[in-house]
Amino acid sequence: MENFNEWLHKKPWKAKRSDVIRFWNSLRPGLPIIPKPVPKEHKGTRFDQDGIRVTGSPDFINGVVSRLKDMLQYYDNPNTKLDVEYRQVETKQGEPHAKPIYVFYIHVVEAGGRISKIKLPKIPKPKKG
C-alpha cells in the first residue's frame, strides 16, 4: 500500500509513444464519433467535456476538419447544438503572433444551452510564396 506522500506526488497516467502508435494503428477505421453533449447548465471551462481542438496552419486544420463531417449531424438536431470556433490566436497582449497560429474548436451542447448563433467561419487563405 502506498503512503500518503507517494499518493500525493503520483503522476497522472501517460502512455508511451510506442503504445500510442500501436493503439492508434489497431483502431478500426471509421469508428463513429459520439460525443457526450455539454450540459446546458455547464459554466466555465470545457476542458473536462468531450470536444475537439485542432491547432496549426489553416491547411492542416482544414484537412483534419474535413475528416470530421460526422459532427455536422449535431448542427441540425432538436436535442443538440454545435458550438464551433475558428480563429487566429493572439498573444496575451492581444497582438497576432509573428507566425500566424490558428485554432478550431468543436463542442456538442444540449439544446437550450447558452450558445451564440453559429456563423460559418471565414476560412483564412494561406499566403503564397
123's CB contacts (< 8 A; 6+ apart) are 58, 62, 86
- Tell me how far apart the alpha carbons of residues 39 and 114 are, in angstroms, rounded to a whole number: 10
Q: What is the pLDDT of residue 49?
A: 96
Mean pLDDT over 118-124 rounds to 51
CA 55 vs. chain centroid, Å, equals 9
pLDDT of residue 122: 56
Pairwise CA distance, residues 23 & 11, whole Å: 22
What number is the average pLDDT over the span 90-115?
81
Q: Give the pLDDT score at 124.
A: 61
Q: Is the pLDDT of residue 113 over 50?
A: no
**Region 108-114 average pLDDT:** 75
What confidence tens digit (pLDDT) does each residue in 3-59 have?
767 766 788 889 999 999 999 999 999 899 999 999 989 999 999 999 999 999 999
In terms of DSSP bridges, do strands 52-56 and 80-88 run parallel, antiparallel, or are they unpaired? unpaired
Residue 97 confidence (pLDDT) above 50: yes
pLDDT tens, residue by residue, 74-88: 998 889 999 999 999
